[in-house]
Amino acid sequence: MTWDNITFFVPHQANKFITNHIAKKFKIPGDKVLYSIEKYGNTSSVSIPLTLVDHFQNAILDENIIVLLSGFGVGLSWGTAITNLSGCKMCGIVEV
């Protein structure tokens, strides 16, 4: 699998410096990195799903959208997954 096969990279949004550093280190094209930190700040464990919902608000995804999701936390814990969002329905964000 190469970056040509990945539609978007959706990292945990701890801060933009770390996200940009990861993207640069792994040579991820800038147009493939989704961000939400500028809009919502560090939202902790919800940053990846929030970034997806923010990007695809109220959409039914009928095309192949392959995303690489990558989260990290305290003690150098991390998890990464590649998944196809085809057929997913994204809800909108409700502000309260």
Tens of pLDDT, residues 11-52: 999 888 988 999 999 999 999 999 999 999 999 889 999 999
pLDDT reading at 76 higher than 90: no
Helix (H) or strand (E) holding 50: helix 47-55
Domains of the chain, with CATH numbers? Answer: 8-84 (3.40.47.10)
pTM, entire model: 0.88
Six-digit token string for 1: 């699998």
| 75 pLDDT higher than 90 | no
- Helix H or strand E encompassing 23: helix 16-25
Order of strands across the sheet that contains 8-11 = 8-11, 66-72, 78-84
